[in-house]
Structure 1
Amino acid sequence: MWSWRIMDRAPRDGRWIIAINRREPDRRAVIRWDPGSSDDREPWRVASCDHGYASDAFTDWMPFPPWPAEEAGAGEGETPAALGGQTLPNGL
Protein backbone atom coordinates (compact mmCIF):
# COMPACT_ATOMS: atom_id res chain seq x y z
CA MET A 1 0.00 0.00 0.00
CA TRP A 2 1.21 3.49 -0.83
CA SER A 3 1.14 6.03 1.96
CA TRP A 4 2.00 9.68 2.33
CA ARG A 5 5.45 10.62 3.61
CA ILE A 6 6.72 13.87 5.11
CA MET A 7 8.36 16.30 2.69
CA ASP A 8 11.64 16.29 4.60
CA ARG A 9 12.24 12.88 3.08
CA ALA A 10 11.14 13.67 -0.47
CA PRO A 11 13.69 12.77 -3.16
CA ARG A 12 15.81 15.62 -4.40
CA ASP A 13 17.21 13.89 -7.44
CA GLY A 14 14.84 15.23 -10.10
CA ARG A 15 12.32 12.36 -10.13
CA TRP A 16 8.61 13.18 -10.32
CA ILE A 17 6.49 12.65 -7.21
CA ILE A 18 2.94 13.40 -6.07
CA ALA A 19 2.61 16.04 -3.34
CA ILE A 20 0.00 17.75 -1.18
CA ASN A 21 -0.10 21.53 -1.41
CA ARG A 22 0.19 23.22 2.00
CA ARG A 23 -2.23 26.08 1.17
CA GLU A 24 -4.75 23.86 -0.62
CA PRO A 25 -4.65 20.43 1.09
CA ASP A 26 -7.33 19.01 -1.21
CA ARG A 27 -5.08 19.58 -4.23
CA ARG A 28 -2.33 17.27 -5.40
CA ALA A 29 0.56 18.25 -7.62
CA VAL A 30 3.05 16.34 -9.70
CA ILE A 31 6.36 17.95 -8.78
CA ARG A 32 10.09 17.38 -8.84
CA TRP A 33 13.07 18.99 -7.11
CA ASP A 34 15.08 20.85 -9.70
CA PRO A 35 18.71 20.11 -8.81
CA GLY A 36 19.80 23.07 -10.93
CA SER A 37 17.81 25.49 -8.78
CA SER A 38 18.38 24.01 -5.33
CA ASP A 39 19.77 27.39 -4.23
CA ASP A 40 16.69 29.08 -5.72
CA ARG A 41 13.81 30.23 -3.52
CA GLU A 42 11.45 27.97 -5.52
CA PRO A 43 13.24 24.65 -6.15
CA TRP A 44 10.11 22.48 -6.55
CA ARG A 45 8.92 22.46 -10.18
CA VAL A 46 5.39 21.54 -11.24
CA ALA A 47 4.83 19.18 -14.17
CA SER A 48 1.91 21.09 -15.68
CA CYS A 49 3.77 24.38 -16.06
CA ASP A 50 7.14 26.05 -15.57
CA HIS A 51 6.22 27.36 -12.16
CA GLY A 52 8.32 26.84 -9.05
CA TYR A 53 7.35 26.49 -5.42
CA ALA A 54 9.24 27.20 -2.20
CA SER A 55 10.78 24.38 -0.19
CA ASP A 56 7.93 24.48 2.33
CA ALA A 57 5.04 24.69 -0.16
CA PHE A 58 4.09 21.02 0.21
CA THR A 59 3.33 18.97 3.32
CA ASP A 60 3.50 15.34 2.20
CA TRP A 61 4.53 13.29 -0.81
CA MET A 62 4.34 9.81 -2.29
CA PRO A 63 6.06 8.13 -5.22
CA PHE A 64 4.15 7.05 -8.28
CA PRO A 65 2.81 3.51 -7.87
CA PRO A 66 4.46 0.79 -9.96
CA TRP A 67 3.58 1.00 -13.63
CA PRO A 68 1.37 -1.92 -14.76
CA ALA A 69 3.41 -3.63 -17.48
CA GLU A 70 0.28 -4.74 -19.36
CA GLU A 71 -1.18 -1.24 -19.63
CA ALA A 72 2.14 0.39 -20.41
CA GLY A 73 2.95 -2.09 -23.15
CA ALA A 74 6.33 -2.63 -21.52
CA GLY A 75 7.93 -6.02 -21.52
CA GLU A 76 9.09 -7.80 -18.41
CA GLY A 77 11.79 -5.86 -16.65
CA GLU A 78 11.11 -2.64 -18.59
CA THR A 79 10.15 0.50 -16.75
CA PRO A 80 8.62 3.57 -18.38
CA ALA A 81 10.72 6.71 -18.23
CA ALA A 82 8.05 8.28 -16.01
CA LEU A 83 9.33 6.33 -13.05
CA GLY A 84 12.87 7.39 -13.79
CA GLY A 85 11.99 11.07 -13.58
CA GLN A 86 12.33 11.86 -17.28
CA THR A 87 8.71 12.18 -18.44
CA LEU A 88 5.22 11.82 -17.04
CA PRO A 89 2.68 9.12 -17.79
CA ASN A 90 -0.07 10.11 -20.22
CA GLY A 91 -2.85 11.99 -18.54
CA LEU A 92 -0.76 13.66 -15.84
Structure 2
Amino acid sequence: MNSWRPMDRAPHDGRWIIAIDRHDPDRRAVIRWDPRRCGDARPWHVASCEHSYPQDAFTDWQPFPDCPACGEKARAEPA
Protein backbone atom coordinates (compact mmCIF):
# COMPACT_ATOMS: atom_id res chain seq x y z
CA MET A 1 0.00 0.00 0.00
CA ASN A 2 1.18 3.52 -0.65
CA SER A 3 2.12 5.87 2.16
CA TRP A 4 -0.07 8.80 3.16
CA ARG A 5 0.64 12.18 1.57
CA PRO A 6 -0.39 15.68 2.69
CA MET A 7 -3.62 17.00 1.16
CA ASP A 8 -1.90 20.06 -0.29
CA ARG A 9 -0.36 17.62 -2.79
CA ALA A 10 -3.62 15.83 -3.66
CA PRO A 11 -4.54 15.77 -7.34
CA HIS A 12 -7.10 18.29 -8.54
CA ASP A 13 -7.72 16.54 -11.85
CA GLY A 14 -10.88 14.62 -10.99
CA ARG A 15 -9.32 11.22 -10.20
CA TRP A 16 -10.61 9.30 -7.19
CA ILE A 17 -8.36 9.11 -4.11
CA ILE A 18 -8.55 7.74 -0.57
CA ALA A 19 -8.54 10.49 2.08
CA ILE A 20 -8.40 10.60 5.88
CA ASP A 21 -8.34 13.16 8.66
CA ARG A 22 -5.61 12.23 11.14
CA HIS A 23 -7.41 14.18 13.89
CA ASP A 24 -10.85 12.59 13.30
CA PRO A 25 -10.58 8.81 12.71
CA ASP A 26 -14.19 8.62 11.56
CA ARG A 27 -13.57 11.01 8.67
CA ARG A 28 -12.31 8.94 5.76
CA ALA A 29 -13.65 8.71 2.26
CA VAL A 30 -13.12 7.95 -1.38
CA ILE A 31 -13.23 11.43 -2.88
CA ARG A 32 -12.32 13.44 -5.94
CA TRP A 33 -11.84 17.10 -6.71
CA ASP A 34 -14.63 18.12 -9.05
CA PRO A 35 -12.99 20.50 -11.54
CA ARG A 36 -16.39 21.63 -12.85
CA ARG A 37 -17.15 23.10 -9.44
CA CYS A 38 -13.98 25.16 -8.84
CA GLY A 39 -14.76 27.88 -6.38
CA ASP A 40 -17.28 25.57 -4.70
CA ALA A 41 -17.09 25.84 -0.91
CA ARG A 42 -17.18 22.01 -0.80
CA PRO A 43 -15.04 20.85 -3.76
CA TRP A 44 -14.19 17.32 -2.52
CA HIS A 45 -17.00 15.03 -3.68
CA VAL A 46 -17.63 11.55 -2.22
CA ALA A 47 -17.88 8.49 -4.49
CA SER A 48 -20.73 6.75 -2.69
CA CYS A 49 -23.21 9.63 -2.35
CA GLU A 50 -23.92 13.26 -3.17
CA HIS A 51 -22.07 14.46 -0.06
CA SER A 52 -19.11 16.79 -0.39
CA TYR A 53 -16.45 18.25 1.90
CA PRO A 54 -14.71 21.62 2.18
CA GLN A 55 -11.15 21.95 0.96
CA ASP A 56 -9.62 21.54 4.44
CA ALA A 57 -11.73 18.53 5.56
CA PHE A 58 -8.92 15.97 5.19
CA THR A 59 -5.27 15.92 6.24
CA ASP A 60 -3.82 13.07 4.16
CA TRP A 61 -4.48 11.10 0.99
CA GLN A 62 -3.17 8.25 -1.12
CA PRO A 63 -3.90 6.90 -4.58
CA PHE A 64 -5.63 3.59 -5.08
CA PRO A 65 -3.26 0.63 -5.31
CA ASP A 66 -2.75 -0.87 -8.75
CA CYS A 67 -5.05 -3.72 -9.67
CA PRO A 68 -3.38 -7.12 -9.98
CA ALA A 69 -2.80 -8.45 -13.47
CA CYS A 70 -5.39 -10.97 -14.67
CA GLY A 71 -3.29 -14.06 -13.91
CA GLU A 72 -1.94 -12.84 -10.57
CA LYS A 73 -5.17 -13.45 -8.63
CA ALA A 74 -5.34 -17.09 -9.69
CA ARG A 75 -1.69 -17.66 -8.71
CA ALA A 76 -2.14 -15.95 -5.33
CA GLU A 77 -5.06 -18.14 -4.26
CA PRO A 78 -4.22 -21.52 -2.69
CA ALA A 79 -5.01 -24.56 -4.79
Fold conserved (TM > 0.5)? yes
Q: In the alignment, which residue of structure 2 is the partner of 1:46?
A: 46
Equivalent runs, 1:48-87 vs 2, <5 Å? 48-70=48-70
Report 1 or 2 for greater relative contact order, CA contacts < 8 Å, sequence distance ≥ 6: 2
Deviation of the 1:38 alpha carbon: 1.6
Alpha-carbon distance in structure 1 between the residues aligned to 2:10 and 2:70:
29
CA distance, structure 1, for counterparts of residue 27 and residue 68 of structure 2:
25
- The percent identity for this pair of structures is 69
- Please say if residues 44 and 54 of structure 1, whose CA atoms lie closer than 8 Å, have aligned partners that are also in contact: yes
Runs of at least 5 residues in structure 2 that lack an aligned partner in the other structure: 72-79
Q: Which runs of 4+ in 1 moved over 3 A?
A: none
> Quick one: structure 1 residues 22 and 41, their matched pair in 2 at CA, closer, same or farther if it must change by over 3 Å?
farther
Q: Which has the larger radius of gyration?
A: 2
Q: Please give the alpha-carbon distance, in whole angstroms, between the structure 2 residues aligned to 1:37 and 1:21.
A: 22
Which residues in structure 2 correspond to 1:13-24 (within 5 Å)? Answer: 13-21=13-21, 24=24
Quote the offset at 1:44 in angstroms: 0.2
How many residue pairs end up in the alignment? 72
Scaled by the length of structure 2, the TM-score of the pair is 0.80
CA contact (8 A) 1:17 1:31 kept: yes
Which residue does 1:11 correspond to in 2?
Answer: 11
| Aligned alpha-carbon RMSD (Å) | 2.1
Cα distance, 1:25 vs structure 2 = 2.2
